[in-house]
Structure 1
Amino acid sequence: MGDLSIVTMVIIAANALISFKGFSDYSFFEQYKFNVGAIIRGEKIRMLTSGFLHVDTAHLFFNMFSLYFFADVVIAYLGSFQFLIVYLGSLLLGNLLSLYFHKNEYHYSAVGASGAVMGIIYSAILLQPGMSLYLFFIPIPIPAYIFGIGYLLYSIYGMKNRVGNIGHDAHFGGAIGGYVITLILATWLFEKNLLMIGLLALPIILLFVLKKLGKI
């Protein structure tokens, strides 16, 4: 197995082991999930551990499948260590945004690697904006940057309207993490892909404008 996939497999294995432990051990799941009240009381470790727990096998599979699909793009450009920085940084920023939006909802709980995975997806789009994605329900290739912008706009809609039992804010925060950390690690992008940097920033700016206006 080449270096390009070892770090991905380690992350997938960690997610699987911790998630399956949580599936069969309710107290373990409760102890390490993201919970606003517990985090405010000082249990900051939940900001990290919740990103390795999942609700069920479908939730786990979808996140790990998405990670596997995009991880090698980021590793190819940044290397394994910086890929880990993007992954863990996006996980934490996703949970920080959730904490910011739900700080007065002490009962609010969440789990999943979605924030971290969205960070990797947004990082991959920044690094290789010309790539195309094939989505299950659309028979033609979609430019990656269109998908990224569209997904974040949908996340804003989901946050505003509380759509589904989904942590839209964690997804969005993870994407911000992937965006910001990648630009810090790969400053050459400012010379090569300045237009793409600006386009991908638009939904991020929109979110904070709407928050400032009290629309979310």
Structure 2
Amino acid sequence: MANLDIVLILIIGINVVVSLKGFNDFSFFDKYKFNIGGIRRGEQIRMLTSAFLHADMMHLFFNMFTLYFFAPVVIAYLDNIKFLVVYFGSLLVGNLFSLFFHKNEYHYSAIGASGAVSGVIYAGILFRPDMSLYLMFIPIPIPAYIFGIGYLLYSIFGMKNKIGNIGHDAHFGGAVGGYVITLILAPWLFQENLFMIGLLAIPIIILFILQRLGKL
């Protein structure tokens, strides 16, 4: 079982409290969700607050459950402060991706900690690419690096085809944020696992090529 560090408890606690408030107070929810029109009017606080709101209990549970398993890996290799840098840095990069890809869609809105959690997932994979992950409906363990690459490739597919009511761009941006910030905070990874760093960069390179070609 994951060791619940005080920082992780606080992050989960804030997500729960803010999300519960949003479930029961539409005006609060509407004021602090990610919304292109609101942000472009100068309400940049939405870039942060939206990541603590969730659509429902299942959305909240899934994000916090995932964070619960991956955060201790990142904290073990970094420390509490650097973990917060990864978490909030990924959160902001994820929302910047959403802002970039939807900048002309004034009614576009989004919520959830998925960008931040995606960054923590990718950070954890950089530290422990040998981890085995078990996913629902798949009876065999999946190597963490395979999961990470597949996750981002699916996000690209989702962005391109607008699959579901999901912020694929925020997921992807959060993972990119976690990837870059982790390598800045732990440069020794370049010496220990340069091949894996390059492998995990493949989806990121694909995304930027597609964007440059106008395919997204």
User: What is the 5 A alignment of 1:16-55?
Assistant: 16-55=16-55
Q: Residue type matched to 1:177 in 2?
A: G
- In 2, Cα distance between the equivalents of 1:152 and 1:210? 14
What is the SS of the residue equivalent to 2:112? coil
Other-structure match for 1:210: 210
Q: Which residue of 2 is the match for residue 168 of structure 1?
A: 168
In the alignment, which residue of structure 2 is the partner of 1:92? 92
Letter of the structure 1 residue corresponding to residue 107 of structure 2 = H
Runs of 4+ with deviation above 6 angstroms: none
2:69 aligns to what SS in structure 1?
helix
- Name the aligned partner's letter for residue 183 of structure 2: L
Equivalent-residue separation in structure 2 for 1:209 and 1:103 (angstroms): 20
What are the ranges of 5 or more consecutive residues in structure 1 without an aligned counterpart?
A: none
Q: Provide, for residues 152-183 of structure 1, a one-character-per-residue CA deviation record: whole Å limited to 9, x for no partner.
A: 00000000000000000000000000000000
C-alpha offsets along residues 4-37 of structure 1, whole Å, 9 cap, x if unaligned? 5211111000000000000000000000000001
Percent of pairs with identical residues: 73
- The answer as to whether partners of 1:4 and 1:80 remain within 8 angstroms in 2 is no
TM-score with structure 2 length normalisation? 0.98
Match of 1:116 in 2: 116
The one-letter code of the counterpart of 2:161 is N
Equivalent position amino acid for 1:98 in 2: S
- Structure 1 residues 104 and 9: alpha-carbon distance in aligned structure 2, compared to 1, 3 A threshold: same
Q: Alignment partner of 2:5: what SS?
A: helix
User: RMSD in angstroms over aligned alpha carbons?
Assistant: 1.0
CA drift at 1:137: 1.1
> How many equivalent residue pairs?
215
How far apart are the structure 2 equivalents of 1:137 and 1:115?
24
Partner-residue secondary structure (3-state), 1:137: coil
Unaligned runs of 5+ in 2: none
Q: Give yes or no for contact 1:91–1:113 (8 Å, CA) kept in 2.
A: yes
Query: Which residue number corresponds to residue 199 of structure 1?
Result: 199
Q: Which residue of 1 aligns with 2:103?
A: 103
The match for 1:57 is: 57
Letter in 2 for 1:106: Y
Equivalent-residue separation in structure 2 for 1:208 and 1:104 (angstroms):
19
* TM, length-normalised to structure 1: 0.98
